[in-house]
A and B are shown apart, each in its own frame.
Chain A
Amino acid sequence: QKEVEQDPGPLSVPEGAIVSLNCTYSNSAFQYFMWYRQYSRKGPELLMYTYSSGNKEDGRFTAQVDKSSKYISLFIRDSQPSDSATYLCAITGNQFYFGTGTSLTVIP
C-alpha cells in the first residue's frame, strides 16, 4: 500500500465550476499536509499548507483535513482556465510523500 493515494483523473470541468480534489493516506502519524500545483514542464509550487484537522481557506482555494478518516481535500471555487494543471497532495512524516497528481482542465 502506498503512503498516499490520489485519483489521477483526468478531471475536466467548465469555467466557474467548483472542483474537489482528494487524497487518502495510510499513516496516522503524518502531521503536515500540503497541496502543490504543477504546470506542464515546471516544478511543483506550494498552494496550501496545513497541519491540523479542519479547513484552511486562501482566496478561491480551501484545504480540508480529516485526520480521523486520513483524508485530505482541496476545493477550488470559481475555477478558471489558468487553474488547469496537475495538483499534487503531499504529506510528511519524516519524508515527503507525494500523491500521483490529479490532472485538471478548466474549459472556458
Chain B
Amino acid sequence: GAGVSQSPRYKVAKRGQDVALRCDPISGHVSLFWYQQALGQGPEFLTYFQNEAQLDKSGLPSDRFFAERPEGSVSTLKIQRTQQEDSAVYLCASSSTGPIDTQYFGPGTRLTVL
C-alpha cells in the first residue's frame, strides 16, 4: 500500500477489557515496530518483528501486552485486562530492512481506558 495503516484509529475501552490493535505495514517491508506514545512524550519502543519473528519484546510493559505477526505482514498488538495507565497512542512503523533503516509510521491508534 501507499503507507502504513492502523485500525481502529480510536478505541475506548472499559478497564479490564481486552483490546486488539491492527497494523498493516508498507507492502514488502521486512521489519515492523510497535511504539507507545503518551501525551506530550516521544514514542517508546515496545517490540520489533523481522518477518514473522519477534526479535525484541523488551519494551512491552507487562505480560498483559502481546504482539504477533504470524505471516510476516499484518501485525496485531493485544492488550489484556486494560488499565487506565495503558491509555496512549499506539504507533506502528515499518522499514524495508532492520532497526537502523528509516521507519515509516502509521497514524496511530488512540486508546482511552475508562
Contacts and interface: CB of A to CB of B under 8 A. Distances in A.
Q: How large is the interface on A (under 10, 10 to 19, 20 to 34, 35 or more residues)?
A: 20 to 34
A-B pairs, 10 with minimum CB distance: A43-B105, A98-B42, A100-B42, A98-B43, A44-B105, A43-B107, A92-B100, A101-B42, A43-B106, A99-B42
B interface: dominant SS: loop
Contacts, number: 55
B43 A95 contact: no
B104 interface: yes
Interface of A: 4, 6, 8, 31-32, 34, 36, 41-46, 49, 88, 92, 94-101
B40 interface: yes
B33 to A, nearest CB: 7
Contact of B105 (A6, A45, A99, A101): A45
